[in-house]
Structure 1
Amino acid sequence: LEVASRTRQHLSNIMRHAVHQGLIDTNPAANLGGVTTPPVRRHYPALPLERLPELLERIGAYHQGRELTRLAVLLMLHVFIRSSELRFARWSEIDFTNRVWTIPATREPIIGVRYSGRGAKMRMSHIVPLSEQSIAILKQIKDITGNNELIFPGDHNPYKPMCENTVNKALRVMGYDTKKDICGHGFRAMACSALMESGLWAKDAVERQMSHQERNTVRMAYIHKAEHLEARKAMMQWWSDYLEACRESYAPPYTIGKNKFIP
């Protein structure tokens, strides 16, 4: 879309120059402004934050499938990355010492697995600071799959990743409609909502951690240059602590952790 818009602008400039030179009477590209309309954005279902205790209870009680599947759902909730970023993850990306997960721009493709070369969505490496809870979950997973390259290998072949529908299938088993209630991608919306409602974090820091695409190219350059890494480390710990706080009953985001995270 951005390429199409730039092409339209270049074409209009050329035609304007031709009009000034007397080569043509009017600029035929002058009225193309509405041709390149933005694509319709897909909205993924997400639970209201008030239902977090219910979600956490159902994840904890999930025993109908592999324990690895339950841990995948739980980790995805804590780190709120995209499904392909989780599904194709390698142990080599995890730095347990510094508590950081670095999702590369691209990954080594797995033969016979479509899109397995995908890394971070924005085609730039993406840093995910890991909370104490996320590290604990990863250590549990490592006890199961630590001898594999993939963090989440499939049921039958350890050299291929888990099925792309694994997380959503587990959510359906938990009783959720993944088209109306919640899907794996919806964890991102829930986390973003809580982070913004808390009032603790700058919007740019949240956007950087969400790895959202910024349409304004000037702001995009700024956001990607300004890592906000220290704030994001505290942010990810806050989110995991917030999930813990909501395990028994719901707590509004703005009531949690102000003294701990804001000097």
Structure 2
Amino acid sequence: MPLTDVQVRQAKPGDKPRKLSDERGLYVEIRPSGSKFWRYRYKIDGVENVYAIGEYPDIGLADARAERDRARALVKQGRHPSHVRRIERAKQQLANNNSFKSVALEWIGTKTNVSDSYRNQLLRAFTKNLFPYVGRLPVHEVTAAQLLECLCRMESRGATYYAITLCNWLSQMYRYAIRNLKAEADPAVALYGAFVRKPVEHSRAMTREDIARFRAGLSGYGGFRANTIALELLQLLFLRTVEVRRGRWEHVDLAAGTWDIPAELMKKKRRHLVPLPPRAIELLTELQAITGGGELMFPGLRHPNKPVDGSTFNRALERLGMKGFSCHDFRATASTHLYESGLFRSEVIEIQLAHAEENKTKKAYNHAEYLPERRAMMEWWQDFVLGCK
């Protein structure tokens, strides 16, 4: 007769272990201590074996029967249930060791042929956008739908281009996992085309009227003075925003009228010597009274040991009424008007813009050889912008 749950629950222990049989090889073993264990008796190749299912009441009668049925199906295939369980546990342990986060960190660690900044960018992207949601899951169990949800969060905050880039990085990581037998497929490949890159908005030059409007806005701007100085320096020196943000006082020589930016702080990784026109020296002298006590020219307000946030200057530009322009447009503005003036050689303009020079002959020139021409050009440009009214 099949057992009932009441029979199993009320069964009392004896002086010796005893058994209560259910059906199809299932029984419960009751020990003198009172512990009760489910067992399944079966035969393979004529040899009797016993499969330990688990302890009652952790495993109830219904669950014991379900596990017995699963074990019977394996026996019919000639497989020992205990062997299969050991294999499954080993696989699960391996999966736990190969979590999405651990494999991603392992892959990032293999990137020895890239710069530290690029490797840190990878780490930040995964840490912020993926690890909180799928980091603990076994890497081979993460689905395309789960990754899509993570990338959609990025798109919702306006980081579409970043989401596309991260999707490409995900595929690289999964190809690494597949090569190392930690995954069998790349779920990220199904997401290609899920996000559409917005049309590239190229820099546009300000007209004389735009320049006049900008300078009028500067005079009445009530925001943090260091930000106003940064905007005017961007216009006068047409450096890249990141190069101004990361500026350090040790590289500025106001007496000599130069800002000598080392290669590691330049986008193109080449030293850039900037001649300072009088108005720029005046602004930097004022700025020195504000931030000169530290190493950074434009420290963040919350984190003074780090440069000001990358969006700060663009937001200040918008508040000046220059909506539709970005700080990068100062470079396009200077380039356009300097070329239109016809007064300066192209190589002088391009060196001041810190552009890469393809011509090897021009590339061989030392910055100092151009310095007199560049200083004259920067003073002309200063007078030009100050004269736009």
TM-score, reference length from structure 1: 0.68
Relative to total residues, which structure has the larger strand share, 1 or 2? 2
Q: How does 1:1-263 map to 2 (within 5 A)?
A: 43-63=202-222, 65-106=223-264, 119-177=265-323, 181-214=324-357, 216-219=358-361, 221-222=363-364, 227-246=369-388, 249=389
User: 1:12-34 CA distances to partner (integer Å, 9 max, x unpaired)?
Assistant: xxxxxxxxxxxxxxxxxxxxxxx
Task: Give the residue type in structure 2 aligned to 1:54.
Answer: R
Distance in 2 between residues matched to 1:224 and 1:122, nearest whole Å:
16
CA apart distance, 1:84: 1.0
Provide Cα deviations, 1:21-57, integer angstroms capped at 9, x if missing partner: xxxxxxxxxxxxxxxxxxx986224322332111110
Matched residues in 1 for 2:288 and 2:204: separation? 30
Q: Distance in 1 between matches of 2:348 and 2:322?
A: 31
Aligned-pair Cα RMSD in Å = 2.0
SS in 2 for 1:228: helix
Deviations 1:64-86 (A, max 9, x none): x2111111111111111001110
Say if 1:225 and 1:88 are closer, same or farther in 2 by CA, change over 3 A.
closer
Contact 2:347/2:362 (<8 A) preserved: no
Kept in 2: contact 1:209–1:232 (CA 8 A): yes
Cα distance in 2 for partners of 1:236, 1:225 equals 15
The letter of the residue matching 1:204 is: E
User: What secondary structure, in the 3-state scheme, does the structure 2 residue paired with 1:101 have?
Assistant: strand
Q: Which has the higher contact order (CA 8 A, sep 6+)?
A: 1
Deviation at 1:224, TM superposition (A): 5.7
Which structure has the greater CA radius of gyration? Answer: 2
Q: Distance in 2 between matches of 1:225 and 1:198?
A: 23
Which whole-Å CA distance do the structure 2 matches of 1:143 and 1:230 have between them?
29
Deviation of residue 194 (structure 1)? Answer: 1.5
Aligned position for 2:144:
none
The answer (yes or no) to whether the contact 1:49–1:194 under 8 Å persists in 2 is: no
Structure 1: runs of 5 or more not aligned: 1-39, 107-118, 250-263
Higher normalized helix content (fraction of residues): 2
Q: 1: CA distance between counterparts of 2:350 and 2:368?
A: 11
Tell me the distance in 2 between the aligned counterparts of 1:41 and 1:223: 33
Deviation at 1:170, TM superposition (A): 0.5
Q: 1:153, 1:162 within 8 Å by CA — same for their partners in 2? A: yes
Structure-2 residue corresponding to 1:14: none
Mapped contact 1:208–1:223 kept (Cα < 8 A): no
**How big is the shift at 1:219?**
4.9
CA distance in 2, matches of 1:62, 1:159: 26
Contact 2:274-2:352 at 8 Å conserved across structures: yes
